[in-house]
Amino acid sequence: MPRYSPATRILRDDLLAQLRSATRPLSTSELREHAPNVPMPRMAHAVVPVSEQVYRILCALHKQGLVTRAGAKGRDATWDAAPTGADAEIAALEAMLSLSADTAQPLTTVEHAANHLTAAARTAYAAAAHDHTAASTALGHLLAQWADILTTELATPDHPAPSAASSTQTRNTAPRPDGLLWRASTSAPQPKHNTGHR
C-alpha cells in the first residue's frame, strides 16, 4: 500500500469524500475551493493547497480507478466518483432508513426527557446498591418523580400515561448484582455507621 505524506493523505481523503457526496461532477477548482488547508514543509501553519497539487492527486485517484473524468470546462477538468461495489448496499441502507423514518412514530421532546430521567433513576439506584448513602437513594427518587411528572404531562388519549404500578416499580425497585430486585424504600442495604470501635 502506498505511503502518502500527511498533506497528500488529507487531500486524497477529502477529495474522495467531496466527490462521493456530490450530486454532480465537480471541477478541479471547485474541489480545491472546498479542500482543507494542509501542512507544508518549512511552513509554520497549514496552507490552502495549490491547484497543481489537487490536480495531481485527482490524476492519481483516476489511475487507481477511484474517480472518473467527467469532461472539462475550458482548461478545468471535471471529476466524478467511480462506482464501487458498496454503492448498491449503501442505496439499500438509505432506502431502509428512509422507510423506517416515514413509518416510525417520532418521540416528542418530553418523551425523550422522561426516558432519560427514568434511565438516570435506575442508574442512581444501581449506584445506591454499592454506595449506601442517602444521597444516592434521594437522587433516584427525585429523578423518578420528575419522569412521572413529565410522562403525566405528555399523556393524551392516543398516548396514555404508564400505569401506576409500572411507575411505582421504576421508582421503588433497583437491580442487584445477582439480577434480582430490592425495594429501595424498605429492603435497601443500610449504611454502616462508625461507632468509634475498631
Distances (CA, A) of 118 to 31, 71, 146, 152: 48, 58, 9, 13
Which set of grid coordinates corresponds to residue 49?
Answer: 493547497
CA distance 164 to 162: 7
Q: What is the pLDDT of residue 130?
A: 58
Most confident of 105-114, 141-150, 153-162: 141-150
Confidence band of 170 (pLDDT split at 50, 70, 90): very low
Residue 147 carries which side chain, given as an amino acid letter?
A: A
Q: What is the pLDDT of residue 110?
A: 62
Which of the following CATH numbers is that of domain 6-83: 1.10.1740.10, 3.40.50.720, 1.10.10.10, 1.10.3720.10? 1.10.10.10
CA distance 27 to 87: 22
More confident residue, 153 or 190: 153
Question: What is the average pLDDT score of the chain?
Answer: 71
The yes-or-no verdict on residue 157 having pLDDT over 70 is: no
Cell digits of residue 12? 486524497
Helix 6-21 × helix 51-63 angle, to 10°:
70
Q: What is the pLDDT of residue 153?
A: 65
Q: How confident is the model at residue 59 (pLDDT cuts 50, 70, 90)?
A: very high
- Please tell me the predicted confidence (pLDDT) of residue 122: 65
pLDDT of 18 > 60? The answer is: yes
Chain segment 179-191, per-residue pLDDT in tens: 444 444 444 445 5
Between CA 101 and CA 144, with CA 150 as vertex, the angle to 5 degrees is: 110
Q: Say whether pLDDT at 67 is over 80.
A: yes
Please provide the DSSP assignment of 16-54 as one string: HHHHHH-SS-EEHHHHHHTPPPB--TT-SS-BPPPHHHH
> Which pTM was predicted?
0.45
- The residues spanned by each domain of the chain are 6-83, 109-183
**CB contact at 8 A, 132 and 189:** yes
Number of H-type helices and E-type strands within the chain: 7, 5
